[in-house]
């Protein structure tokens, strides 16, 4: 249709009629004269609308699913992050509690030996195969650390400082083959030298080849001149094996160190040695021996034997003198 004056007038007329019908429909409410027409249109166009909706709904649902899946994925990711954070917090709490226990043990050991210590954390460990057994701690020259200082933890001797940087230091562990420390046996005070073996054991050579030593005996550090590199009295380990005396000038024993070198975390660098040699006082109290249980059997007089009969009288009690009892006529 061409855009003429008549077509424009027709369009205006149709719009006016549409507004009039809408006004009548709204004002009439439920009694609208257009209800019959609306129901007829619904009857005619309803199936067509349902068919179109059935064809279009899967596409719309798919689009909605894709859109909602992004939201669900974001929510799942948020929950996973929250769970990971909670696990991290729980792990951190456990680790903090473990560190608190280690620090408490370290302070008790330092107090027992009257050592002035600087606490430090192990931040790395050296290779155990083909290299020195070392650890790196997060304390250095800025903290007053110097070369040849004793390093210990709450259990006992760890090693000595070998290299010092501004903020870190290297510790040679007692298990290194190049490590040597003077030792003193508990009670007997027999002296010796402990050497690392490259594993989790120490070999101690006692200066007295005839020294009385047995499995379970304990030893501490003997100490060095001016407490460098070792202060006295630090627990070293426990004797696990003694070699028989074979005429040598020294006697060798195998010692299990108190410190667990595979799980070092909190250590202390001895900044000030004790005023007096603590000797064996830093060692923990030995475990008390459990008493051996004893069994007491009580026999009741007149009790029956296993056959239900009273015990037989052997004539040894309340018996008169026999003919050969050695008494006079």
> What pLDDT does 96 receive?
80
What's the rounded Cα separation, in Å, for the pair 153 and 171?
13
Q: Is the pLDDT of residue 264 over 70?
A: yes
SS3 195: strand
Confidence of residue 198 (pLDDT cuts 50, 70, 90): confident
> What pLDDT does 250 receive?
80
Confidence of residue 150 (pLDDT cuts 50, 70, 90): very high
Confidence of residue 2 (pLDDT cuts 50, 70, 90): low
pTM as predicted: 0.61
Q: Which residues pair with 151 in a beta bridge?
A: 159, 269
What's the rounded Cα separation, in Å, for the pair 167 and 147?
14
Residue 247: C-alpha distances to residues 142, 143, 243 (Å): 51, 49, 11
> What pLDDT does 92 receive?
63
Cβ within 8 Å of residue 181, ≥6 positions away: 157, 174, 193, 194, 221, 222, 230, 236
Task: Pick the more confident residue, 264 or 87.
Answer: 264
Q: Which pairs count as long-range contacts for 195-200, CB under 8 Å and 24+ apart, including other chains?
A: 196/133, 198/128, 198/133, 199/175, 200/175, 200/256, 200/257, 200/261, 200/262
% of the chain with per-residue pLDDT over 90: 46
pLDDT digits over 168-194, tens only? Answer: 999 999 999 999 999 999 989 999 999
pLDDT digits over 50-79, tens only? Answer: 554 555 455 455 555 555 555 666 767 777
Q: How far is CA 314 from the centre of its chain?
A: 71
Query: For 180-195, b where at least 16 C-beta lie within 10 A, e where not — what string?
Result: ebbbbbbeeebbbebb
**Average pLDDT in the chain:** 78
- Token representation of residue 221: 């550090």
Give the mean model confidence (pLDDT) for residues 5-25.
Answer: 69
Q: Is the pLDDT of residue 326 over 50?
A: no
Confidence of residue 158 (pLDDT cuts 50, 70, 90): very high
Confidence of residue 13 (pLDDT cuts 50, 70, 90): confident
CB 113 within 8 A of CB 152: no
Which helix (H) or strand (E) covers residue 83, if one does?
Answer: helix 35-113
> Is the C-alpha dihedral spanning 233, 236, 242, 244 positive or negative?
negative
Give the mean model confidence (pLDDT) for residues 99-117.
Answer: 92
């Amino acid at each position: 249709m061409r855009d003429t004056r008549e077509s424009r007038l027709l369009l205006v007329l149709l719009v006016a009629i549409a507004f009039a019908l809408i006004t009548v429909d709204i004002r009439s409410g439920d009694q609208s004269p257009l209800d019959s027409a609306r129901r007829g249109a619904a009857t005619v166009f309803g199936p067509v609308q349902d068919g179109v909706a059935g064809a279009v709904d899967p596409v719309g649902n798919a689009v909605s699913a894709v859109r909602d899946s992004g939201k669900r994925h974001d929510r799942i990711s948020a929950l996973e992050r929250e769970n990971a954070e909670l696990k991290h917090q729980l792990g951190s709490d456990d680790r903090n509690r473990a560190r608190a226990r280690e620090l408490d043990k370290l302070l008790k050991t330092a107090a027992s030996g009257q050592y002035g210590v600087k606490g430090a954390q192990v931040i790395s460990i050296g290779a155990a195969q083909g290299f020195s057994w070392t650890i790196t701690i997060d304390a250095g020259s800025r903290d007053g650390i110097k070369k040849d200082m004793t390093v210990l933890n709450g259990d006992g001797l760890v090693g000595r400082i070998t290299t010092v940087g501004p903020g870190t230091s290297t510790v040679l562990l007692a298990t290194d083959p190049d490590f040597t420390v003077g030792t003193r046996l508990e009670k007997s005070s027999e002296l010796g030298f402990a050497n690392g073996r490259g594993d989790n054991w120490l070999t101690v050579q006692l200066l007295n080849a005839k020294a009385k030593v047995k499995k379970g005996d304990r030893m501490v550090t003997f100490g060095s001149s001016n407490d460098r590199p070792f202060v006295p009295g630090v627990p070293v380990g426990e004797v696990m094996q003694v070699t028989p005396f074979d005429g040598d000038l020294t006697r060798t024993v195998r010692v299990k160190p108190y410190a667990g070198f595979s799980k070092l975390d909190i250590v202390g660098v001895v900044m000030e040695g004790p005023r007096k040699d603590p000797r064996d006082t830093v060692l923990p109290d030995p475990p008390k021996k459990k008493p051996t249980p004893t069994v007491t059997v009580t026999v009741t007089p007149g009790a029956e034997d296993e056959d239900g009969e009273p015990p037989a009288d052997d004539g040894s009690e309340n018996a008169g003198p026999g003919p050969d009892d050695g008494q006079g006529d």
